[in-house]
Chain A
Amino acid sequence: MDVSEKDELRNGDTTANYDDESANNNNPPPDWRVSGSNQVSAPNDSYPPENQMMDSFGQTLWYDPTNVQAVGYGGFNGVNNASSSSSSFRGNNNMDRSLEMGWNLLPPKGNGMFLPNASSFLPPPSMAQFPADSGFIERAARFSLFSGGSFSDMMNHHHQQQQQQQPLGNPTESIGLFLPSNVGVAHNDASAAMKESNVVRSSEQGNKQNVPGSGNVSEDTQSSGGGGGNGQKGGEASSKGFDSKKRKRNRQSSEAGQSHRSQQSEEEADNNGDKKRNDEQSPKSQGNKTNSGKQTSDPKDGYIHVRARRGQATNSHSLAERVRREKISERMKFLQDLVPGCNKVTGKAVMLDEIINYVQSLQRQVEFLSMKLATVNPQMDFNLEGLLAKDALQLRAGTSSATPFPQNMPMVYPPLPHGFMQQTLSSMGRNISSPLSPINGGYKRQEANGWEGDLQNVIQINYGAGDVPPDSQAAAAAAAATAASLPSSNMKVEP
């Protein structure tokens, strides 16, 4: 995949500094466990077991631990603002869920700012199943911004409200522990620049936002001093230096459904010795206003700040491009989960191909199903079935959703064509031997080539033997499957 290749290039560029990056990926969890208990006053019962989960999450989704992106609440402002309607309600749910996922990712990689990046997936699709409220979103947004009251208070509050809801509720507790633990960790282990950078960040945020925990305060001051000193030395003190950072600002649109556009990026001379801060912006303007303890440089008009990685061009355009690329790759990852059979596929082009095929197959399925419904039920009287189907729907929702078209056909539809054809014969009283033939006759072979190709593919996928006649009238399962697939292919022709 382009993005992954470039990531590796980047990693390679920074050579020795990033040698133990992978090691760092694995190290933090054990370190946390060690040091996490020392400092945090927040409840951390579930903390140790969460590390593995977060670690695994981090492994899969985080490709560059030092990649600090404060990006990402993309175009969800409008969507999230429309919290009154149920659909955006669910959108908020998704935001919450992905927020939590993002939080899961954060600790292993020691980057507190990854949250918005991971969370900016999908507000509209109601992927999550819990009924969140906008208050929760606000709190979650506050999380990401490390602002607004004490961290543990937020954690507790959040946890209470969310207890009944998500399976991922627990990891949020660990998030509360993330900062303090990292502070301690970095303090202990100065060799890991990642932690150090976290220390700097967290310390600064702690300074700004009064992160609770008695240990934190002292840690903050110490680590901030240490961090500042380390920052200047850069690669000397630790194997990894701080990234040269630069801020990029985006204006957020408040219209519903509009995505985020990056208009300009500001360059800030940000030396290694300077304080580095990842400013996060909540996509919601409400979140902006309510986050009291924000960094002072955070403008209220909704900028998103991005930092350039070490060794990267700090050109505004390239930065914007990189942000965009990463957004895209995140979403592609989501798509991988959604589209069946995309896990092994890497590379944008192939994945896009799969996605296109899947969308088209779904559309064809819809056509076919509607045709079937039209023939099965001439009166279009679906009320009774609606009641009946509700139970079926309950069952179906749990099972996997629309699987790829060819695989399904033989299983589901063999019994149907019988009744299908008989119904049409009896009710319509026409001399239609099969519902397919008028369609067959109606369309000239304009699309014959593609159609045949489609059919071939279907057959190959299903049976491995391609010896089925195109016009299916037989009641055999094979023929039924092809019959099922035929109208769908034919549907494509229909304007």
Chain B
Amino acid sequence: MQPTSSMNKEFLKKWQMGLQIFRPSIDNTSVSERKRAIKLSADVAMASLRKGTTCWSRALIQKTASEDNFLVRQMLSGIKEETLINKKLPKVMCHRKIVRRSKKILMRRKSRSAMEEVAAKAKKLVKRKTQGLRNAVPGGEFMSNNVLLIQETLDYIVSLQTQVNVMRSIVDAAAAGIER
């Protein structure tokens, strides 16, 4: 389940495409500007590899589009707009204190057994972790169930690995070229 060389190549191609778009605006001499450009194009390239099939790719594209619409539109010319839109989940606004209080009361009312308590605590922990995962994965808030979340995480991890591999090899090549 490692990124394949074909994936690497595709990512590199798309990334180059994105960088071409930024090259004319070479006046962004500040490091952070360039870094932002590089990262944006890399992210869009990574997301476009999935062509809108996964939730995280769509979310990533949406995020990029908010910063640089032109780039996104150029690179994703082949993909329809509808596929790129995530359906937002209805967010229930809960007052946390009230919720916590009511949960405590409920727990008190229920009969306690050692196993139940342990199970409840474990569930809480898992819930918290999944929430953390949702924050980490782009578009995690749109994934309605845990199954989808883990699927997307898997895919996202593989894509990230591709991205990191390609970038690292380019960095190494660049460094090697410089030292010559």
Q: Which A residues are within 8 Å of any B CB, using their own CB?
A: 2, 74-75, 78-79, 82, 85, 87-88, 90-91, 121-122, 124-127, 129, 256-257, 259-261, 324, 327-328, 331-332, 334-335, 337-339, 348-349, 352-353, 355-356, 358-360, 362-363, 365-367, 369-386, 388-390, 392-394, 396-398, 400-402, 412, 415-416, 419-420, 423, 428, 435, 438, 494
Minimal beta-carbon separation of A420 from chain B (angstroms):
7
- Whole-angstrom CA separation of A77 from B172 in the bound complex: 41
Q: Are B147 and A259 in contact (CB under 8 A)?
A: yes
Given contacts A75-B148, A352-B133, contact A374 B164 (CB under 8 A): no
With A349-B125, A380-B19 known, 10 other A-B pairs at CB within 8 A are A91-B53, A121-B154, A124-B53, A339-B157, A352-B126, A366-B43, A366-B164, A385-B174, A401-B165, A415-B179
Contacts of B137 in A (CB 8 A): 359
Contact of B174 among A353, A363, A377, A394 (CB under 8 A): A377
Contacts of A359 in B (CB 8 A): 133, 136-137, 153, 156-157, 160
Q: Are B179 and A349 in contact (CB under 8 A)?
A: no
Q: Majority SS of interface residues in chain B?
A: helix
Q: Is B64 an interface residue (CB 8 A)?
A: no
- Whole-angstrom CA separation of A406 from B94 in the bound complex: 39
Number of A-B contacts (CB under 8 A): 246
> Which stretch in B27-35, B69-77, B97-105 binds the other chain?
B27-35
Contacts of A371 in B (CB 8 A): 31, 35
Given contacts A334-B154, A380-B19, contact A402 B165 (CB under 8 A): yes
Q: Are A362 and B53 in contact (CB under 8 A)?
A: no
Q: Is B106 an interface residue (CB 8 A)?
A: no
Contacts of B165 in A (CB 8 A): 393, 396-397, 401-402
| B146-170, CB < 8 A from A | 146-148, 150-151, 153-170
Q: Are A85 and B38 in contact (CB under 8 A)?
A: no
Q: Are A355 and B166 in contact (CB under 8 A)?
A: no
- Whole-angstrom CA separation of A125 from B8 in the bound complex: 13
Contact of B164 among A257, A349, A362, A416 (CB under 8 A): A362
Q: Which B residues are within 8 Å of any A CB, using their own CB?
A: 1-9, 12, 16, 19, 22-23, 26, 29, 31-32, 34-35, 37-39, 42-43, 49-55, 58, 83, 119, 122, 125-126, 129-130, 132-133, 136-137, 144-148, 150-151, 153-175, 177-179
Contact of B34 among A87, A352, A380 (CB under 8 A): A380
- Whole-angstrom CA separation of A334 from B145 in the bound complex: 18
Minimal beta-carbon separation of B92 from chain A (angstroms):
19
Contact of A331 among B52, B147, B170 (CB under 8 A): B147
Contacts of B3 in A (CB 8 A): 397, 401
- Whole-angstrom CA separation of A125 from B174 in the bound complex: 29
